[in-house]
Structure 1
């Protein structure tokens, strides 16, 4: 005859564990208005992505700009209004606005990269180069092309390539309509392709 094993007393096991969901970015920023410490997790969640974007665009000064970005965000947290795309585009918007004070420095960086770009790196097809701009191995002609783009067009192109933002998020970052994002991105890609392959100029004019 099989011996029955005693069943554990549920009361002795204690209450079941509670599963708390993490607060959303919007909840954190709203809570931080009265409890400033609640802002800290936003830095933990988004600082790496914002720093990567800044570093690709401007190089070593990204460290200082990252701190400035979150300082501005902290000071303006009470003015934050949800636009339906989350807090991350708001942070990228602050970072992009700060970059505008360093436009000349950014353009000098691209020109310097164009001068020292490694010639041994095999050139990628034009469309691939435009769609996936690699800051670690910018082609000489691609770096030069970025330096000549209008600031607004360059912002849209690099928020797409390096910020990995959607059209709707970029529209929120730059406070422009989605249609303007599309037209700027189209123009930036077209001008960059022409800079990478001058033969396309002849094709377009024919």
Structure 2
């Protein structure tokens, strides 16, 4: 059983206030960051906007966290204008992930490797309009931001967009450490299988 966004949302019901946020810098997000809306689908934006190019290989998301430890992952929708969470699920209802949920630490200069074709998702191909939805939990609630992109086999992310501490996608149950900042990431079976609410909270906060 995979952990879906709805299962992650159970964590937020056990918390009183969401006060730790995250902000994606690249690719461009759907709209201006609104911290109060981050617990909502796509930070409160329900229509695709600000579509930018994104490479089929050697892609990355740059972002920063306002919490030192967290869980994160990246879902993908191949719909041209995904307006709710259903568009980010497989036919069986599981989250459609290009980056499995992982535990990490660090607050600034975060750079997450994203290889859209590696997940083998139908419709992920050159010229496709897709949407990434990053899912983040710093221990007090589940947050979301969306990035609408066009995949391109000929596009290379400009060198002006820095990826100074690339956080790759290590194999299941392995850990990768970035010496430049000390940030770490651990894939946990693609979604913290079998941990339950107490285990998830412990995983976030340890």
TM bucket, shorter chain = under 0.3
* The structure with more radius of gyration: 1
Please, what TM-score do these two structures have when normalized by structure 1? 0.23
Q: State the structure with bigger RCO (CA 8 A, min sep 6), 1 or 2.
A: 2
Name the structure where helix makes up a greater proportion of residues. Answer: 1
Please, what TM-score do these two structures have when normalized by structure 2? 0.23
Name the structure where strand makes up a greater proportion of residues. Answer: 2
